[in-house]
Amino acid sequence: MTRTGPYVLGYTRQPQEGQIYSPKLAYSLHLAYSEDGRRYEALNHNSGVLFALATEREDGTLAAKSLKQPYLFLMADGTYGIVAIRTEADGTPDEESEGAVLLFTSTDLIRYEEHGLLHLGGNGHVQDLSCEYNEQGQRYVIHWRGEDGCCYRNELADITQQDQASRPERVEDSNRFPLPAMNVEIEGAVPRNAIPIASDIAKRLRSKLTVPTHIANRLPERVEVVSPDQVEAIKVTSLYSDGTTADKPVDWEMDGIDWSRPGSYRIVGRIRQHRYPFPIATHRADPCIAKWEGRYYFIATNDADGNHSLLIRAARTIPELVTAAETKILDTEQYDHLKNFLWAPEFHQIDGKLYLFHAGSTGEFGDIQSHVMRLKQGGDPAMAADWETPVRVVRHDGRPLFESGITLDMTVLDWRGRLYVLWAQRQFVPHDLGSWIYIAEADRGQPWKLLSEPVLLSKPDYGWANNHTFVDEGPYALITENHIFVTIASALVDATYCVGLLRASHDADLLDAGSWTKGNYPLLTSRSVRGQFGPGHNSYVTDDDGVIWNAFHARPGIDQPRSAGLRRVHFDIDGDPVLNLTEEKDVNPALAQVRLEVVVSEAR
DSSP 126-175: --EEEEEEETTTTEEEEEEE-TTS-EEEEEESSTT-TT-PPPPEEE--TT
Confidence label for 175 from pLDDT (cuts 50, 70 and 90)? confident
Q: 365 by DSSP, 3-state: which?
A: helix
pLDDT(455) > 50: yes
Element (H, E) at 231: helix 228-232
Q: What is the pLDDT of residue 4?
A: 65
Q: 592 by DSSP, 3-state: which?
A: coil
Beta carbons of 464 and 490 less than 8 angstroms apart = yes
pLDDT tens digits along 352-397 = 999 999 999 999 999 999 999 999 999 999 999 999 999 999 999 9
DSSP per residue, 427-439: E-SSS--EEEEEE
- 439/509 Cα distance (integer angstroms): 12
End-to-end CA distance of the chain: 69
- 70/556 Cα distance (integer angstroms): 34
Q: What is the pLDDT of residue 237?
A: 98
Q: What is the dihedral of CA 41, 44, 47, 52, to 10 degrees?
A: -120
pLDDT(127) > 90: yes
Q: What is the pLDDT of residue 1?
A: 41
Q: Compute the mean pLDDT over every residue in the chain, rounded to the nearest whole number.
A: 96
- 168/178 Cα distance (integer angstroms): 19
**Considering only CA atoms, which of 103, 104, 132 is closest in space to residue 117?**
103
Cis peptide before 279 (omega within 30 of 0): yes
DSSP bridge partners of 81? 73, 105
Q: How many residues does the chain have?
A: 604
Q: 29 by DSSP, 3-state: which?
A: strand
- Those residues whose C-beta lies under 8 Å from the C-beta of residue 72, and which sit 6 or more positions away, are 8, 10, 80, 81, 82, 192, 193, 194, 195
- 363/346 Cα distance (integer angstroms): 21
**Considering only CA atoms, which of 214, 210, 211, 212 is closest in space to residue 590?**
214
Q: Per-residue pLDDT averaged across 119-141, rounded?
A: 94
Element (H, E) at 583: helix 583-586
With 0-12 / 13-18 / 19 or more C-beta atoms within 10 angstroms meaning exposed / middle / buried, residue 415 is: middle
pLDDT(164) > 80: yes
pLDDT(603) > 90: no
Beta carbons of 419 and 444 less than 8 angstroms apart = yes
- 63/470 Cα distance (integer angstroms): 10
- 125/131 Cα distance (integer angstroms): 17
Prediction pTM value: 0.96
Q: Per-residue pLDDT averaged across 484-509, rounded?
A: 98
In percent, the amount of the chain with pLDDT more than 90 equals: 96
Q: Per-residue pLDDT averaged across 88-94, rounded?
A: 97
Half-sphere exposure of 197 (CA within 13 A, CB side): 30
- Those residues whose C-beta lies under 8 Å from the C-beta of residue 235, and which sit 6 or more positions away, are 247, 248, 249, 250
Q: What is the pLDDT of residue 604?
A: 53
Q: What is the pLDDT of residue 3?
A: 54
- 437/428 Cα distance (integer angstroms): 15
- 591/425 Cα distance (integer angstroms): 47
Element (H, E) at 370: strand 369-374
What are φ and ψ of residue 490, in 5° steps? Answer: -140, 160
Q: Per-residue pLDDT averaged across 242-258, rounded?
A: 97
CA distances from 109 to 30, 410, 445, 583 (A): 10, 33, 45, 28
Q: Per-residue pLDDT averaged across 553-565, rounded?
A: 97
| Type of residue numbered 66 | S
With 0-12 / 13-18 / 19 or more C-beta atoms within 10 angstroms meaning exposed / middle / buried, residue 557 is: exposed
> SS3 for 474-513, per residue?
EEEEEECCCEEEEEEEECCCCCCCEEEEEEEECCCCCCCH
